Structure 1
């Protein structure tokens, strides 16, 4: 969880992404979503993803293990949701 505490609702990137979805309970604000977004963009360049801050979910079209590691490296605790 970050210390920014700038709360923003909404979705980052493409909301229609199909892929693996993670619940990220410690993603609490727009700054957190931005940090995760940058980590995914850096680790999986060109991969489609969506971030829904309200539901605290991140969906990534790409390698699930790499996406999970990117979120963890950004400082968050992703929990892969069953499909």
Structure 2
């Protein structure tokens, strides 16, 4: 028996865990710290407060957030508007 956790709290926790997700994009043209800042800022214009991780070595951008609130097409457009290509 779990102390202090009622069924309503358990259900909310399950919903919270289910809704969190990560988007991952292969992005071409990123080579330096400026690229990291540009891509991160582009994502934040669409999803303020999202956790953004840019891996220059592998050309990957990872965005952690709520599936219901991340507009995938808008994120792609924001990154491409900065001059980078989503593969």
TM-score normalised by structure 2 residue count: 0.62
Structure 1 segments of 4 or more deviating over 4 A?
Answer: none
Cα distance in 2 for residues equivalent to 1:49 and 1:28:
17
Of the three residues 70, 74, 78, the one matched with 2:78 is: 70
Cα deviation code 1:28-72 (max 9, x no counterpart): 111111111111112211222211111110012322212111101
Q: Which has the higher helix share?
A: 2
User: Which of structures 1 and 2 has the bigger CA Rg?
Assistant: 2
5+ long unaligned stretches in structure 1: 1-16
RMSD value, Cα = 1.8
TM-score of the superposition, structure 1-length normalised?
A: 0.64
